[in-house]
Amino acid sequence: MMIAWERPVLLVFALFVAALGAGAAWTWQRRRGERLAALGSEVARERLAPSAKSAAGLRRAIRLGVASVLAAVAFAGPRWGTAREIIRTKGGDVVLAMDASLSMLADDERPTRLERMKQEVRRFRAASPGDRVALIAFAGRAYVLSPLTSDDGALALFLDNLDPSIVGQPGTALAPAITGALDLLAAAQGGAGKAIVLLTDGEGFDDRAEAIKAALRARRDNVRLVTVGFGTEGGTSIPIRTASGVEAKRDENGAIVISRYAPETLAEVARVADGEFIPANATDKGTRMARALASLEARRRAAEAGLAMPARYQWLLGLALLLLLFDAWHADGGRVSTRWLPPVLRRRLGVAVALGIGAAVAPHVVRAQSLSDRALAEFKAGRTGEAIKWYREAVGRGDRTPRTLYNFGTVLLAADSLDGAVDALERAGFGAVPALRDRTLYNLGLAQLLRARRSEGDDRTQSARGALAVLRTLLLAHPDDADARWNYELALRLRLAPPPQSGGGGSREEERKTPQQRDPSGMSPQQAQQLLDAAARDERDTQSRRRRVPQRERPPGGKDW
């Protein structure tokens, strides 16, 4: 079991406390012995102070020393395991429409306009953690990256991978971004205040009247519109990566394109919508965005969330407190009166209290673990059907920890129950510790891959895309995972062409890892790597084609940046 520490430097203090306690106990015991020796002979000491025994004093010193060490370790902030809790938040519904056109690669804002925009979005999330946020990327058209969600992990993943290739159609059109955000908010439930934040350099090439029309619709729908500018009015060229290196973007006549920040458009759109305009030269735009939306009507929300490695200091402090209470009970001169109790209960009161605490705590622990532990034992014994039965009962009784859901999904995957495996593994992926989350993503991608191989038509395409999305998430975190790369390549083949007759991956079980099955056709690792690289390029091209309008339709204003 892995343990993390919030304040590891205090562990050194715990060692110091232990050494100090041992030294104090030794000194106290020595002086106590000297005082007892002054009473006279051993027989006299037994008669005058029958309770003052050397062993009893040593035991008390040990109890106090251990209690001090436990308290010191608790202050170091130990964390381990997983837990579920209800997270209560309060906020509005916000759509972030982010410019992903080529002009955002201009470096008149360091490092680029695009990266500065991402930084400000992260600051906004830190300042408004209670809001539900949706992400829209736009260039020549708008593309929804994420629906309204409070999952910061998903938002961070989409934000990190935002670049001009994600939308497909080049150019910059402001109206589709505002219209797409309004449509997304129109379907939102919950009654919270709604807002759109348009982040762009303002260099729009679509019909300006359409952008004004969209802003008027936002005003009618009572949606607050905030526009945020990036870049400089002097502008700069747009660096483009080519096979020969980095070159400046050129227009159709061969002239170098100079992209300029256009504040007039953004200010007018915000004014028409009765919103707010944040200029490019403003400092800390993320915090200003949060202040501009502070007047939104907030709604309280409660959601079950998984916590990876929650704080566990309570256990150590509880043990320290019990030791101190036990010591106070047995200390000389501090004994609590129990003369009102029968003699038998007085002699066995400590045992009775311990047994009572155990009886109160044990059933909850046993109920939470016994069913899933039995299911795991059945699976290890090769009785998959019995394991599924016990896991289903454990989940039905409320054991929905990431570990149990992961094991349940893995057993269903081994039993070829792919739909159930996908459902369980999708639920297990949220809130799991990193290692378990990685195995969950791998098995979820494998389940989607197998389902794609057994489907036809649209069902195959949908399952293959699901496998690609999950495995891509895993590969972003672990690009050297050969097994995940192999399955990603197979899913790519399924989506682009008829499926191969053989090949595949293996399930990663938590307790054991089976060797990954390789291609039986004899493909070498170098050939597989070349095929995967080519498939990755095909994937990027296909995603662009899927989102791109027909070639006969020119980019907005005929400009592709």
Q: Which helix (H) or strand (E) holds 85?
A: strand 82-91
Is residue 270 in some structural domain? yes
Is residue 172 in some structural domain? yes
At 375 the pLDDT is 82
Q: Is 191 in the same domain as 121?
A: yes
Q: Is 160 in the same domain as 274?
A: yes
At 55 the pLDDT is 57
At 278 the pLDDT is 96
Q: Is 292 in the same domain as 407?
A: no
The number of helix segments (H) and strand segments (E) in the chain equals 19, 14
Q: Can you give the CATH number for the domain in which 409 is found?
A: 1.25.40
Q: Is 44 in the same domain as 153?
A: no
Cα–Cα distance for residue pair 298/282, rounded to 1 Å: 26
Q: Is 156 in the same domain as 237?
A: yes
Q: What's the token pair of residue 560?
A: 């592709």
Is residue 449 in some structural domain? yes
List, for residues 374-409, the tens digit of each pLDDT value. Answer: 888 888 888 888 888 888 888 877 777 788 888 888
Is residue 377 in some structural domain? no
Residue 318 identity: G
Q: Is 148 in the same domain as 42?
A: no
Cα–Cα distance for residue pair 29/369, rounded to 1 Å: 45
Query: Which domain-ending residue is among 249, 281, 304?
Result: 304
SS3 338: coil
At 110 the pLDDT is 86
**Alpha carbon separation from 141 to 11, 158, 224 (Å, rounded):** 55, 18, 22
Cα–Cα distance for residue pair 324/469, rounded to 1 Å: 54
Shortest CA distance to 183 belongs to which of 173, 196, 172, 174? Answer: 196
Shortest CA distance to 3 belongs to which of 72, 79, 65? Answer: 79
At 325 the pLDDT is 79
Mean pLDDT by groups of 10 residues along the chain of 561 residues: 72 77 73 71 62 60 79 81 62 93 91 93 88 91 85 78 81 92 85 92 89 95 95 92 84 89 94 95 91 85 55 82 76 46 46 44 45 80 84 78 85 85 77 73 87 81 82 80 84 67 42 32 44 49 45 67 78
Q: Is 262 in the same domain as 155?
A: yes
Q: How many domains does the structure of the chain reveal?
A: 3
Q: Is 65 in the same domain as 104?
A: no
Q: Decide if 512 contacts 414 (C-beta within 8 A).
A: no
Q: Is 62 in the same domain as 137?
A: no
Is residue 214 in some structural domain? yes
Is residue 226 in some structural domain? yes
Supply the pTM of this predicted model.
Answer: 0.49
Q: Is 137 in the same domain as 280?
A: yes
HSE-CB for 547 with a 13 A CA cutoff:
21
Range of the domain at 200: 87-304
Q: Where are the alpha helices (DSSP H) in 128-173?
A: 152-160
Is residue 371 in some structural domain? no
SS3 50: coil
- Give φ, ψ of 207 to 5 degrees: -65, 120
The one-character DSSP state at 246 is: E
Cα–Cα distance for residue pair 2/308, rounded to 1 Å: 11
At 199 the pLDDT is 96
Is residue 56 in some structural domain? yes
Q: Which helix (H) or strand (E) holds 259?
A: strand 258-259
Bridge partners (DSSP) listed for residue 132:
93
At 239 the pLDDT is 92
Cα–Cα distance for residue pair 198/178, rounded to 1 Å: 8
Which residue shows structure tokens 């929905």?
A: 400
Q: Is 289 in the same domain as 325?
A: no
Q: Is 261 in the same domain as 202?
A: yes
Q: Can you give the CATH number for the domain in which 211 is found?
A: 3.40.50.410
